[in-house]
Amino acid sequence: MRWRWLWALAGLVGGWAFLGWHPPRVTVAAGRPLVVLDPGHGGIDPGAVGAGGVLEKTVNWEVTVAAARVLGRRGVAVVLTRQGDTTAAPGPYLVVRDLRYRAFLARHRGATLLVSIHSNAEPSGRAVGPIVYYYAPSLASRALADALTAPLTAVTGIYHAPRPARHLVLVEAGVPAVTVELGFLTAAADRARLTSPTWQARLGAAVAQGILRYLAERGG
C-alpha cells in the first residue's frame, strides 16, 4: 500500500467529524487494558488482491477474529474497528475518512494500544514473511512492534526487523499503535498460509501472543 499520499491528504478531510459519533461501548474494568484490533480494508475496499482472487480484506478479518478470540479467552477487552465485511467509518465511504475513523476509535476510547492488521503485496512476487511497522516517534509503538515480531517470526520462520512508517492510522491513533503486514499475497508460499484457516488461526494466535507479551512488559 502507498500511504504517503493518504497522509498528505489527511489534513484536508475533516478528522474531527466523528466527535458526534459514539461507537458501541465495551465495559473495561479500571486499570485493565483495552485492545483495539483493526482489520484493514473491508466492504467496498478489498485491499490487495492476490492470485485466484484472494482478497486482503478477508484474510485480515479472519486473522483479526482469531486474535480477538485468543485475547478474549485471556480476559482482555477487545474492540474491532469494523464488525464484518464493511468499511469502518459510519456514513459515506472515503478512504482517508475511513482510516481516520479507525484511529479516532482508539483515541476516543483511550485504548491501551491499536494493532492494524493487513496483508502485503509487491510486484516481483519474491518478497515473503510478516513485517511489523511502527510509528518512530513513539517508543511504545516500537516496543509493541518488537513484541509482535517475535511470535510472528516463530510461527512463520521468517524474520524481518520492524520498520518505521507514517501510516495515517498510526500517526493519528494517539496510543501505541502498529501495522502488522501478515505476509505477501503476491508470493505463493505466503498466499497458501494466508488463505488457510489453520494458518489464519496460527497467525491470529501469534498476534495475540505479541500483544499479551507487550501488556505483560508494561505491567498490565
Using CB under 5 A as the binding rule, whether residue 50 contacts Zn ion is answered as no
The residue among 124, 101, 106 whose CA lies nearest residue 14 is 101
**Cβ atoms of residues 23 and 105 within 8 Å:** yes
Query: At closest approach, how far in Å is the CB of 118 from Zn ion?
Result: 4
Quickly tell me which residue has 512476487 as its cell: 125
Give the CB-nearest residue to Zn ion: 118
Closer to Zn ion by Cβ: residue 38 or 146: 38
Count of positions on this chain that bind Zn ion (CB under 5 A): 4
* C-alpha angle 60-65-70 in degrees, rounded to nearest 5: 130
d(CA 199, CA 197): 5
The residue among 24, 33, 163 whose CA lies nearest residue 80 is 24
Closer to Zn ion by Cβ: residue 40 or 162: 40
Polymer length of the chain: 220
Instruction: Please give the residues from 110 up to 129 whose contact with Zn ion meets the rule CB under 5 A.
Output: 118
Closer to Zn ion by Cβ: residue 58 or 149: 58
Using CB under 5 A as the binding rule, whether residue 183 contacts Zn ion is answered as no
Closer to Zn ion by Cβ: residue 101 or 143: 101
**Cβ count within 10 A of residue 215:** 20
Closer to Zn ion by Cβ: residue 118 or 193: 118
d(CA 220, CA 214): 9
Query: At closest approach, how far in Å is the CB of 6 from Zn ion?
Result: 11
Using CB under 5 A as the binding rule, whether residue 47 contacts Zn ion is answered as yes
Quickly tell me which residue has 480477538 as its cell: 68
Query: At closest approach, how far in Å is the CB of 19 from Zn ion?
Result: 26
Using CB under 5 A as the binding rule, whether residue 40 contacts Zn ion is answered as yes
- Where along the sequence are the contacts to Zn ion (CB under 5 A)? 1, 40, 47, 118
